[in-house]
Amino acid sequence: MHPSLLHNGEIRRTSDLLISPGQTGFMNGWGVFSTLRVYDGVLFAFARHYDRMKHDAELMHVPFALPADELQRQLLKLVQANHAANATLRVSIVRNRGGLFEGTGIRFDADLVAFTADLAKWGEGVRLYYVPNARHAGSPFAGTKVTSWSHNLTWYEEAHQRGFDEVVLLNEHGQVSECTSANIFALFGDQVVTPPLSSSGCLPGVTRGLLLEEIKIPGLTIREGGLTPKELESADQVFITSTTRNLLPVLEIDGRSLRQAPQQLGRLQRAFTEYQAGYAARHLASRETVNT
């Protein structure tokens, strides 16, 4: 984590004492969050992150009245304070009131907290294993990105303890849902398939959404579709996606090596990084126009 953070509109030091046990959301994981990629000083796909947070905050009864342009302004102030032009940024909205153990003297209905960190190095690919019954697709809260993240952290830690990198979370029907912090895709010939939001229980990842809606590659169709573990293992290529990883190949699952299609995956990776660079260039040019 970089030395400065954003707390309710103010730049503070990460060593500052800013929360109390009486803030309900910090004790109970009652909040929403998103992780953004800072690309050349631009908050990549910011509108998508903002819209998802607003949706999830409404569903979870988390107060979130800050307009998009004001949140973006505050987050860019943090980026500048940390000299974090190319970094990872985490922003959370955490509810402060409610429940039996609400504290006294609380000033805000919710706290906004954001911080930045260096980009992680993920290596050439990942090794996964299955965790059954880890997502409940039928839950009304399926697909929400909430700060109650301990299950994911536990599975991620156990994966590393066992010599793996991540896990494939299966839902109550035994279908593939996602990883703890990434969506998953499988390539079958000219079809690129990812589990559907409506029935898998996966999160609507921003990188996932961009691949489905914005990235166009001649000869390839990117779509939603149900996946079983057997189907996943029969794919020509499996890869995971996230804001911090972009597109990263899956090398094996449960110790079984998977087929690799580096040419097709390379086309997808290049198309995504070109989209990323174009997005940043357009937003930098727009910002310069406003400032002149």
284 lies in some domain: no
* Judgement on whether residues 46 and 156 belong to the same structural domain of the protein: no
What is the rounded CA–CA span in Å between residue 114 and residue 7? Answer: 7
CA-based nearest residue to 129, from 255, 260, 228, 259: 255
The predicted model scores a pTM of 0.95
268 lies in some domain: no
What is the rounded CA–CA span in Å between residue 170 and residue 188? Answer: 20
149 lies in some domain: yes
* Judgement on whether residues 14 and 134 belong to the same structural domain of the protein: no
Which structural domain, as residue segments, surrounds residue 211?
126-263
Is there a contact between 89 and 76 (Cβ–Cβ < 8 Å)?
no
288 lies in some domain: no
CA-based nearest residue to 144, from 228, 69, 33: 33
* Judgement on whether residues 152 and 66 belong to the same structural domain of the protein: no
Is there a contact between 185 and 193 (Cβ–Cβ < 8 Å)?
yes
* Judgement on whether residues 98 and 152 belong to the same structural domain of the protein: no
CA 57 to chain centre: 16
91 lies in some domain: yes
Amino acid at 134: A
Residues in contact with 33: Cβ distance below 8 Å, sequence separation at least 6, in sequence order: 53, 90, 91, 92, 93, 145, 146, 147
* Judgement on whether residues 130 and 192 belong to the same structural domain of the protein: yes
270 lies in some domain: no
144 lies in some domain: yes
Three-state secondary structure call for residue 142: coil
State which of 67, 97, 117 marks the end of a domain. 117
CA-based nearest residue to 178, from 122, 136, 210, 125: 136
Is there a contact between 200 and 175 (Cβ–Cβ < 8 Å)?
yes
Radius of gyration of the chain (CA): 20
**What CATH number has the domain bearing residue 49?**
3.30.470.10
* Judgement on whether residues 254 and 132 belong to the same structural domain of the protein: yes
**What CATH number has the domain bearing residue 149?**
3.20.10.10
* Judgement on whether residues 33 and 153 belong to the same structural domain of the protein: no
Three-state secondary structure call for residue 213: helix
Q: How many residues does the chain have?
A: 292
* Judgement on whether residues 241 and 258 belong to the same structural domain of the protein: yes
* Judgement on whether residues 92 and 137 belong to the same structural domain of the protein: no
* Judgement on whether residues 71 and 20 belong to the same structural domain of the protein: yes
Q: Give the β-pairing of 191-194 and 221-224.
A: parallel
* Judgement on whether residues 146 and 243 belong to the same structural domain of the protein: yes
* Judgement on whether residues 239 and 257 belong to the same structural domain of the protein: yes
What is the rounded CA–CA span in Å between residue 117 and residue 9? Answer: 19
Which residue is associated with the tokens 């030395």? 3
State which of 47, 82, 117 marks the end of a domain. 117
283 lies in some domain: no
Per residue of the chain (292 residues), give pLDDT as tens.
999 999 999 999 999 999 888 999 999 999 999 999 999 999 999 999 999 999 999 999 999 999 999 999 999 999 999 999 999 999 999 999 998 888 888 989 999 999 999 999 999 999 999 999 999 999 999 999 999 999 999 999 999 999 999 999 999 999 999 999 999 999 999 999 999 999 999 999 999 999 999 999 999 999 999 999 999 999 999 999 999 999 999 999 999 999 999 999 999 999 999 999 999 999 988 876 666 5
What is the rounded CA–CA span in Å between residue 165 and residue 171? Answer: 20
Q: Considering its fold, how many domains does the chain have in total?
A: 2
**Number of continuous H segments (helices) and E segments (strands) in the chain:** 8, 15
